[in-house]
Amino acid sequence: MPRLDRRALIADAALGLAATGGNHAVTHQGVDRSLDLPKGSTSYYFRSREALVDAAAQRLVWRSRKSFDEAIVDGSVPVDVMAAYVADLVERRRTDVLARQALLLDPTLAEDTRDRLRGCLFSAESARRLLVEHGSSAPDDDARRLLAILEGVVFVAVHSDADARRDIEALVAAAFPSLA
């Protein structure tokens, strides 16, 4: 298996461990066991736990950008794209959401890894640009509010039977009519 593929596989395993066992389940030995790799294999690719968690965070960023790009269709209404993306997070990418939530609880994370995790599902800069394009007079404040809505709906929907798509459509349309 090529080295890049092995790194992605290890990052994916770390995410799976975080999603099912919480932050403390993400260890080099835990990843080795989950992938049935020889002891020390994960350490070869990621020397420290911080490097392993950062690789998992980078993997989440990559998956999120890919998923968001797939949700965009020419001529899409912004709220429809957001609703489709959030529904995908809650349904198909639930493990990613749970892993991110677990990893963010680690008080020992380096600030750059924490920032990467904070922004891996939703981009504040992209939200700001979108709001500027749709006439926001306070794009920074509006972007913060939009991200709070998106993050809140994802959190609730992952931990309940809430309809994320419907909630995004209603809440975003009510708060930002220009996006609907």
CA distance 139 to 18: 34
Distance of CA 7 to CAs 31, 36, 43, 72, 94, Å?
11, 15, 11, 28, 21
Domains detected in the chain: 3-179 (1.10.357.10)
Beta carbons of 100 and 120 less than 8 angstroms apart = yes
How far is 70 from 124, CA to CA, in rounded Å? 19
Give the residue carrying structure tokens 């309809």: 163
58-110 per-position pLDDT tens digit: 999 999 999 988 888 777 899 999 999 999 999 999 999 999 999 999 999 99
Question: What's the rounded Cα separation, in Å, for the pair 114 and 23?
Answer: 13
For residue 172, give the nearest of 137, 131, 116, 138 by alpha carbon: 131
- In the chain, the amino acid numbered 49 is R
What type of residue sits at position 180?
Answer: A
- pLDDT tier for residue 153 given thresholds of 50, 70 and 90: very high
Q: Is the pLDDT of residue 40 over 60?
A: yes
